[in-house]
C-alpha cells in the first residue's frame, strides 16, 4: 500500500506542466500558414495535433476559435516536445490579447465567465 502510494506520487512528478489543461475543442492553430487542431490548451501553452517540429524550435502561432477576434490571436512559442500526439508549444510571452482569448475559451469548460475581462 505504501509502495503504491509512492509510485503514484512519482508518476505525478513526471508531469512538470505548471498550468491545468483543458480541451482544445473548437480551437485551431496556424503555424507557418498551415492550420492544425488544438488537442488541449492552458494559459501556458497548447498541444497542436499533427504538427511535428523539433524541440526548442521557436514558432509564431495564430490561434482561432469562438469568441476570438476574426483574425485570431498570435503569440511566439517554443516547442517543448513532439511526438505521435503532435507538438507541445509553450507561450514565450503571455500577452493580454492571447491570455484573454485562452481564458475565454477555458471558461466554457469550467462554467464561469471571466470577471477581469
Nearest residue to 115 via CA among 15, 105, 104:
104
Cβ count near 60 (within 10 Å): 12
For the chain, give me the number of helices (H) and strands (E)?
Answer: 2, 7
Q: What is the CATH number of domain 19-110?
A: 2.40.10.430
* pLDDT tens figures, 64-98: 998 888 899 999 999 999 999 999 999 999 999 99
* pLDDT tens figures, 20-30: 899 999 999 99
pTM: 0.80
- Cell reading at 54: 523539433
Amino acid at each position: 500500500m505504501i509502495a503504491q502510494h509512492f509510485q503514484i506520487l512519482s508518476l505525478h512528478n513526471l508531469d512538470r506542466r505548471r498550468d491545468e489543461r483543458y480541451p482544445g475543442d473548437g480551437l485551431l492553430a496556424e503555424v507557418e500558414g498551415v492550420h492544425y487542431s488544438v488537442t488541449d490548451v492552458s494559459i501556458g501553452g497548447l498541444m497542436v495535433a499533427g504538427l511535428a517540429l523539433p524541440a526548442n524550435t521557436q514558432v509564431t502561432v495564430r490561434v482561432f476559435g469562438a469568441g476570438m477576434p476574426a483574425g485570431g490571436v498570435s503569440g511566439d512559442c517554443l516547442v517543448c516536445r513532439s511526438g505521435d500526439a503532435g507538438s507541445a508549444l509553450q507561450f514565450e510571452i503571455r500577452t493580454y490579447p492571447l491570455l484573454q482569448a485562452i481564458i475565454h475559451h477555458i471558461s466554457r469548460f469550467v462554467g464561469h465567465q471571466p470577471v477581469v475581462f
